[in-house]
Chains A and B, each alone.
Chain A
Amino acid sequence: MESLIVTQNLSKNYGGVRALEDLSLEVRRGEIVGLLGPNGAGKTTAIHILLGLLTPSSGSASVFGLSPLTHRHKIAPRLNFSSAYVQLPSNLKVLENLKIFSKLYNIPDAPKKIASLLELMDMTSLASRITGALSAGEKTRLNLCKCLLNDPELLLLDEPTASLDPEMADNVRKLLKKIQKERNIGILYTSHNMPEIEELCSRIYFIHEGRMIAQGSPEEIMKAFQSKTLEQVFIKIVRSGDFVVKEPGL
C-alpha cells in the first residue's frame, strides 16, 4: 500500500521544552491510523507539522512524498483537516461557508458537490442556517463537509468527536468508516476516546510526553501491555510513565 505520511525521528522543542521526540510513523492509503496520548502528549504538534503549520526541530516529515514546509501548495489540494478546536466562521451561513471553501479548493461544479455532501451529512435542511446557531454535532458534520469538499486522499482529524454526544459520535465514526472504505483514503485520527479508537483504527501510535510508547494494532498493544482494553493501556502508561517502546513481538 502506498505511504501517504512518513515521519522519521521527528522532534520539536520549544526552548527547553520537548514537545515531540523521535516520532517515526507511517499512514498508508486505505487505513485509519490512531495517534493517541494524554493531553500535551504531542499529538497536535505532530499534526501541525504534517500540515506545514509548524517547523520541526529535527527529523523529517513527508506527505505524499513531499515536505509540508516546502511543498504545501502541492499537498494542500490533496488533503484536508478538521479539529474540534478549529471552526468555520460562525457569522456565515452553512452554504456560504462551503461555497467559500469550494473556491479555495478550486472545486469544479461546486454547487453539485456541496449539495451531495450536505445530503451525505444529513444537513440539507440546515444549508441556510447561520453556522453559529448549529449544535456541536451539526458543526462537526459541517467541518466534515468542508473536509470532503476536495475529495481528499488523506484526512487529518484532530479529536473530531470531542464535543459530541455518544450517539452523534457513533454516527460520525460510521460515516468516516464508510468514506474510508468507499474512497480508499488514509486517515490520521487523534482522540481521547479509547473505545472509539478500538472501533475505528487498524493501527495505533501511542505517544506520551512527546515520545512513542507503543505501536501496532489495538489488539497487539493490549496484549503487549497485558490489558483488556485500550483505556487500561492508556491509564497504565500515564500513571507508570512507562517509556519502554513496546512493539508487537517485543
Chain B
Amino acid sequence: MRQSLVRIGGILTRYLYLHMRSMPRLFEIFFWPVMELLVWGFVSVYFQSLLADPATRIAAILISAMIFWDILYRSQQAVSIAVVEDIWTQNIVNILVSPLRLWEWLAATFIYGFFKISLITALLSAIALTLYHFNLFSHLGLFMIPLLVNLLFFGWALGVFTSALVIRWGHSAEALIWGIPYLVQPVSAIYYPVSVLPVPLQWVAKGLPSTYVFEGIREVTKTHTLPWNYFWAALALNFIYFLLAALFFGKMFKSARNLGRLGRLGMD
C-alpha cells in the first residue's frame, strides 16, 4: 500500500510541476469558471430584478446551479485531461511500462481533480459573495457536502468513460472529452426542474445522478432542507455509473492492447 501511495504521489507531483511550469495552464483553471460565473451571475441578478416576489430567489438558484455544473464539468475534465496530457507529451508509454497500476493512475487523477475543484469552488464562492452578495456556503449549509460528493463521483465516472475512449481511439476521440459533459447537461435539469422536460427526456433525466443533485439544490433553496431520497438515488446511480465506467475502461484498455494502439498512443 505504501508503494502505491508513493506512485500516486509521483503522478500528483507531475501535475503539480506541470502547473508550476505553465502560467497559461494555471490561469486556465480559473479563467473559464470565472467568466461563466460573471455572465450567469449578472443575468441572474437582472432576472431577479424583473421579478416582484423576492421569494423566488432566482439568482440563488441560477448561481448555485452554475457553480455546481462547473464542479461536475471540471471533475470530469481533470481525469480526462490528465490522461490525454501524457498522450500529448508522448510520455504515456513510459507511464504504462512503469510499475504504476491503472487504478493508481486513475486515483491520482481523482485526487488532482478534487484539489482543482476545491480551488475553483472557493474562488467562485468568493466572487459570488463579492459581486452578487450570494453566500453559497450559508445558502446550502452542510447539505453542500452530500451534493458535492455526488457530483464529484459522477464527474469522475464521466472522466473515466471519456479517458477510455481516448485510450482506445487516440487523438481522434479527444474532442469527446469536451463534448460528452454537454451531452448530459440538457437532461441534468441544471437550470430548470425536471418537470420542464418532455416526458421521454424526464425518464432520461431520472437516470442521471446529476439530476438529483440539481433538484436537491432547488429544494434546499425553497425549503431549506435536502430530501435524502435524492441523495441516496444519486449515490446508487453513481455506484452503477462508476462501475460501468471502470468496466468500460478495462475493456477499452484491453481492446487497445489487442489492436496495438497502446504503444502507439500519441503517435497517430
Contacts and interface: CB of A to CB of B under 8 A. Distances in A.
B20 to A, nearest CB: 9
Nearest to B22: A91
Given A48-B260, A104-B99, A106-B3, A86 B10 contact: no
Interface string A131-160: 000000000000000100000000000000
Contacts of A101: 10, 94, 98
A146 B94 contact: yes
**What bracket does the count of chain B residues touching chain A fall in?**
20 to 34
Interface stretch (A73-81, A118-126, A228-236): A73-81
A188 B14 CA distance: 29
Given A81-B93, A85-B90, A101-B94, A91 B21 contact: yes
A103 B260 contact: no
Interface string A78-90: 0011010111111
B13 A91 contact: no
Interface string A8-22: 000010100001000
B21 A100 contact: no
A101 to B, nearest CB: 7
18 contacts: A14-B260, A45-B260, A48-B262, A48-B263, A51-B96, A55-B254, A73-B99, A76-B99, A88-B94, A89-B89, A91-B22, A92-B18, A93-B17, A103-B6, A104-B7, A104-B95, A106-B3, A130-B21
Interface of B: 3, 6-7, 9-11, 13-14, 17-18, 21-22, 86, 89-91, 93-101, 254, 257-260, 262-263, 267
B263 A51 contact: yes
Contacts of A77: 99
A99 B20 CA distance: 15
B7 A87 contact: no
A53 interface: yes
B172 to A, nearest CB: 18
